Structures are given as C-alpha cells and as structure tokens.
Amino acid sequence: MDYSRIKQQLLERKAKVEQRLEENFENEHMSMMDSTGELSYYDNHPADTATTMFERGKDMALHEQLEREHEEIEHALAKFETGVFGICEVTGKEIPYERLEASPAARTVVEAVDNRITDDRPSEEDVLGGFRKYNFDNRDDETQFDAEDSYQSVAEFNELPMVFEDSSLDESGELIGYVEEIEGFLSTGIDGYTGDDNVEFQRNVHYDQYLNGK
C-alpha cells in the first residue's frame, strides 16, 4: 500500500512540533524575573504571581506533551526505513488506512489499543478519607479528640446562609471531652474527689444513656 501521503503528513507535523519545541525551550529557560519584568519578588504578595506560576506550569506540561508527540513521530518514520509501517505492533495485522489518516503515528489497530486506566492516584488521597475515617467513637483503645469531634466543634459556629446550624452535628451518642462514660454525669466540688459521699449525679443525657446501656 502506498503510504507516501501519510509519510508527508508525518514530516510536516514533525517540522511544526520541532519549531514549537525550540520556541518553548527558550521560554522554559527564561527566569521568572525575565518573563514578568519584576526586579524582585520579596516585596510582592504570593498571589500577585499566581497567574504567572500557573501559566508557566501549563507551558511545561504542553512542552512535555510535544516531546512525547515528537518521539511518536520519529518512531513512525523509522518504520518506513524497516518496511513495517502500517503493521500493528500487537496483533501483526494491517492498520486500516483510514486510521492512519486520522492518526499517522498509530502503533496498533483500534482493537489492540490499551484503554486501561492506571490506578496512579495522588499520594495525598491516602489521608483524605473523610472525617469518618478518623472517628474513634467505637474504639476502646482510642480516647482522643478525633477529627469528627473537631469538625463538629467548628460546625457549631456555622453562620452560612441556607445551611441548617445543626445539620452536621450528631453528638447524642458521643462523650466529647470524657474518657470514661461515668465522667459525663458524675461531678465533685471544687476540692475534687474527697469521698463517695461527695460525688453528685447529673441527670443529663449521658446519665440516661448509661442507664439504658448505650
């Protein structure tokens, strides 16, 4: 099959990619001061340069994409030298001409394309399990003020409109601030514990829960 037209497309695209890579190379090696005209960043708020940093990061990502495309084009052109252009690298079948017109650097037939999604998740997600992940209410070996308690304490001061103040609070089954259940309803005087006769029972929700075996 005559692939001369496909080869010409690859050569034209290669020239454009190399031109853009050369332009990006010059910008990539330009310092932040040169690219923005600022003499110093010590007196600037970090937010003042946020847009510049974002655009610089985007340009770097596009540069990497161009490099990968250039590698694919070089790989495809090398196949012309070995006489295997248009042959699927996985199945050995002939790649349809229509597919090569749409994607001249295609390595495989459509059926052999690897569409698997890699499980390459950001490491930050390991600690973003939500407040329930750090809820120690039902653990006997943990008595600390957990993440759920922290959220509930902050939510008590919610002043956002159209948000129910107690929508996120569920303290009925918790002993916030206490280690043992009885601490929620037992109290002593200012002198602390001086004997069983001086201990008072507070008839509160914790006392009711304790009696009901919750």
Total domains in the fold of the chain: 2
Q: Is 117 among the domain residues?
A: no
Which pLDDT score is estimated for 89? 93
Give the pLDDT of residue 56. Answer: 78
Q: Are residues 72 and 29 in the same domain?
A: yes
Query: Minimal CA–CA distance to 80: which of 108, 97, 55, 105?
Result: 105
Q: Is 25 in the same domain as 88?
A: yes
Together in a domain, 149 and 89: no
**Domain CATH code at residue 69:** 1.20.120.910
pLDDT attached to residue 73: 96
* Domain coverage including residue 94: 4-110
Q: Which of 74, 91, 110 is the last residue of a domain?
A: 110
Mean residue pLDDT of the chain comes to 77
Asked if the structure places residue 121 within a domain, the reply is no
Separation between Cα atoms, residue 187 and residue 208, nearest integer Å: 16
Rounded distance between C-alpha atoms, residue 73 and residue 104, angstroms: 8
Lowest mean pLDDT among 66-80, 105-119, 165-179: 165-179
* Mean pLDDT across 118-129: 70
Looking at the structure, do residues 100 and 146 belong to the same domain, yes or no?
no
Tens of pLDDT, residues 37-59: 555 555 556 666 777 778 778 88
Q: 99 and 19, same structural domain? A: yes
Q: Are residues 86 and 177 in the same domain?
A: no
* Residue 127 identity: V
State pLDDT tens for residues 146-196.
Answer: 766 777 777 777 666 555 445 444 555 555 556 677 777 788 888 888 888
Does the residue 32 lie in any domain? Answer: yes
Establish if 132 belongs to a structural domain: no
Residue 172 lies in a domain: yes
CA atoms of 20 and 28, how far apart (whole Å): 12
Q: Looking at the domain assignment, is residue 18 inside a domain? A: yes
